[in-house]
Amino acid sequence: MSEDRLQGNTARMLKTDKRLRAAADWVEPCDIIADIGCDHGRLGAMLLLENRAKHLIASDISEKSLQKAKHCLQRHGLTGRAEFLVADGLEALDRKVDTVCILGMGGETLSGILIRGQEKLKGASLVLGAHTNLYVVRKTLQAIGYRISGEQVVRSEGRMYVLLRAAEKTGNEEPYTRRELMLGPMFLSERPESWRPWLERRRHYLHKTVSAMKAADNPQSEKRLLKAQEELTYTLDVLQNL
């Protein structure tokens, strides 16, 4: 069966969106995939239905969410290829896995999961989606010995999402610059068309943030103000040259 037909059949069998579709497309076929913070379980179900994984570890810190994932996989006859664990982040990993997917949470939360559980990754490929603070996520990836190999903006159901793909560092690559950490090394290198609306939205947010912090005139916010101004400068420069 062709890839297009396979994806079409999956979409009919399973309620998905463009964000999950894009994340799934980044997963290379392998033996074991872990979906950390699996929530409704649709990503894991998609990966198994498309045979991108032989086995799935689906985990969530919430028993209620994990039950939703279990019911989703049951509906599609996939529970024999999956295990379900209530666990805090990467504590769910009791063996080496090939790919770890972590989607649908804030950047600080995602970074905390990676930092606390870095020894459990054992070189697994990462597919990540953070709603906020991508700077912190990129900085964390660098700190735990990973390099970003892909970045994309996905429009889904009226919202924009950024997905990151990362792999364990293999050589003596130069550390990312602050500009790369703030805007994204792959975005800066590839400059996809989908990046412009994301940058425009970011520019608007940073303008409002800088103006509000200047008006508040709070010395304790000075560091945050300088960081926002720095990112705004980088953002304006890129927009002028896209």
Whether residues 154 and 207 share a domain: the answer is no
- This model's pTM is above 0.85: yes
Q: Mark whether 86 and 162 lie in a shared domain.
A: yes
- Whether 237 and 138 map to the same domain: the answer is no
3 band by pLDDT with thresholds 50, 70 and 90: very low
The residue from 174, 207, 226 where one domain ends is 174
B/e letters for 16-25, b = 16+ CB within 10 Å, e = fewer, are beebbbbbbe
Residue-range definition of the domain harbouring residue 236: 196-241
Question: Is there a single domain that holds both residue 93 and residue 38?
Answer: yes
Q: Does the pLDDT at position 119 exceed 50?
A: yes
Average pLDDT score over the chain:
92
Domain count, the chain: 2
Same domain, 111 and 159: yes
Whether 94 is in a domain gets the answer yes
The 3-state secondary structure of 26-86 reads CCCCEEEEEEECCCCCHHHHHHHHCCCEEEEEEEECCHHHHHHHHHHHHHCCCHHHEEEEE
Q: Are 210 and 100 part of one and the same domain?
A: no
Instruction: Say what the pLDDT of residue 172 is.
Output: 85
Instruction: Note every long-range contact of 89-93, with CB atoms under 8 Å and residues 24 or more positions apart, other chains counting.
Output: 89/36, 89/37, 89/61, 89/113, 89/116, 89/117, 90/36, 90/114, 90/116, 90/117, 90/118, 90/120, 90/121, 91/117, 91/120, 92/34, 92/36, 92/57, 92/59, 93/34, 93/57, 93/117, 93/120, 93/121
Q: Tell me if 125 is assigned to some domain.
A: yes
Is 11's pLDDT higher than 90? Answer: no
In a domain, 17, yes or no: yes
> Could you tell me if 214 and 146 lie in one domain?
no
Local structure of 213: helix, strand or coil: helix
142 in a structural domain = yes
Q: pLDDT tens, 147-188?
A: 999 999 999 988 999 999 999 998 888 999 999 999 999 999
